[in-house]
Amino acid sequence: MSQLPLPIGWSGQGGTERLLVHTANGDALALLRDWRRWPSPCTLLVGPPRSGRSLAGGVFLAESGGMLVDDAERESEERLFNLWNEARDSGRPLLLITTQAPPVWRVALPDLRTRLATAAIARIAQPDEAVAAALIVHGLERAGSAFAPDLPDYLARRTERCYAAIDDVLARLNSLSLATGQKLSVALARQRLCNDAALDGPQPAPSQEGMN
């Protein structure tokens, strides 16, 4: 297994959550932290749910003092338009967190659509096997669950390649560890997770263009 990604030096509001920097989010985070050189007052952070988008947004806020809208697709387009203008006029950068970028994100307001066309896009990709294994290690260690060294790679090869599936597997394993006090092993994971189809193997990640 490749070397595990390292956590960046930031945590939200004194909490214990830490954002791992890895190959699926490294380019996106680098763009967020280079906000002074954005080509437009606004950048879109595009990524799947439970991929650490909000934590990445927190890094941006802490370092830039800018403005942030999470789940921007659900926000009023008029408000987004006004925030874009405020970002331009005030010099405070604006980050919009979305699942998709335009044109998949259908923006009806012409003036907003024109402005968003100038925005840079920071993309968080779905995890590959190495990233999945690193996230599993991180999630087990944060919960204080003892586990066998070969367990993360075993799970990464068999868990669907999306952040939500990885989170679900982690929740079940951490709950099992807490309930039994046992060290998590491959045999125990196979016994407890395969029966409920939690380890069906990696599935093809949905294309960005095909999601609504």
What digits encode the pLDDT tens for the residues 156-182?
Answer: 999 999 999 999 999 999 999 999 999
123 Cβ contact partners less than 8 Å away, ≥ 6 residues apart:
27, 28, 46, 47, 208
Stated pTM of the model = 0.82
Evaluate if residue 3 carries a pLDDT over 70: no
Report CA dihedral (104, 108, 112, 114) to the nearest 10 degrees: 70
